[in-house]
Amino acid sequence: MTSLKLADHCGRLLAQLADAEPRLHVLDGDLADSDGAIHVAMRHPERFVMAGIAEQSMVSVAAGMAEAGLLPWVFSFAAFLCYRAYDQIRICLSQAVQPVTLVGSHAGGLSGRNGKSHAAPNDLALMLSLPNLHVWSPGDCLDVELAVRTILAAPAPTYLRCPRTPLDEHRGLPGAAAALRWLAPRRPVTLVSTGLASHWALAAARHLGEAGHDVGVLHCLRLRPLPALADELQGVRSLFVIEDHATFGGLASLVHGLGLSAAITALGWPGDYSGKSGADAQLLAAHGLTGGLLAHSIASALTATSRRRD
């Protein structure tokens, strides 16, 4: 069974699409064999720039390339790209509105043996706070393909967030790729999720169903521009936002800002979590983010709400 990191799938797709798009160039921060950029380097070496461990310079160079009419894509681990080069992203991309796409691999709170220095559990808080920056958070390969093709069709300053966790062929999300789609039909109690966490949400929904709780699951692939999320959530009574991100500054904060009448509960990495070395299953279990533990938290919250109403 083949497992593939989403950033790696992005690199493979870009290498193919570059055949017909001569403006497409890729820059990488000395991680091409880990973040997917290696595929462009192998197929189009003349349009690949190994920038070394110099993320700030790499983003500045990409902005200059965009100003010259090229379509640069910048690859690195999210922890290095978003944090080390944040001022360059703020000035050269966000404020200058340069069509550079940032591919942040290894995003979120699961960094494997690399530990907290390589984790990025609050990258969305940084990227979503910048004006003019589009943000995508794919949960499977179909999501990546939709995001990449959409970005190339209408270039803009963009952050494409990809988890480290490899996803095998049996871990795709249901249905055709769309910026916003129901993975399970809308219900008065609905789980809203993005990226890798949509797999957690589906697992939680299965556990809840076995316990007699019928819940909807809504996957949000694009966080900016935000799709018609408020329209989709009309009539929902209780919302549980599940994400591979801190509970503040990401999708939960966007949902809170919609002004919905539903009760909203954020489920993600706690605010004092900066990452830790360990297997995915261990880290998820330690922070209540496995399907079973999420289902338990949601069921407990629903029971408590029901008692208050009685």
Could you list the active site residues? 55
Residue 31: how many other CB atoms lie within 10 Å: 20
CB 106 within 8 A of CB 118: yes
Q: How many CA atoms lie within 13 A of 180 on its CB side?
A: 14
Token digits of residue 182: 């129901």
Could you give the angle at the alpha carbon of 53 between the alpha carbons of 70 and 62, nearest 5°? 15
Query: Which tokens is 95 given?
Result: 């404020």
Whole-angstrom distance, CA of residue 9 vs CA of residue 220:
20
* Strand partners for 163: 107
**258 neighbors 180 (Cβ within 8 angstroms):** no
Q: Which long-range contacts (CB under 8 A, 24 or more apart) does 279-288 make?
A: 279/112, 280/110, 280/112, 280/165, 283/109, 283/110, 284/110, 284/200, 287/109
CA dihedral in degrees (64, 70, 71, 74; nearest 10)?
-40
For the sheet containing 222-224, what is the strand order?
Answer: 48-50, 24-28, 71-77, 101-107, 158-163, 134-136, 222-224
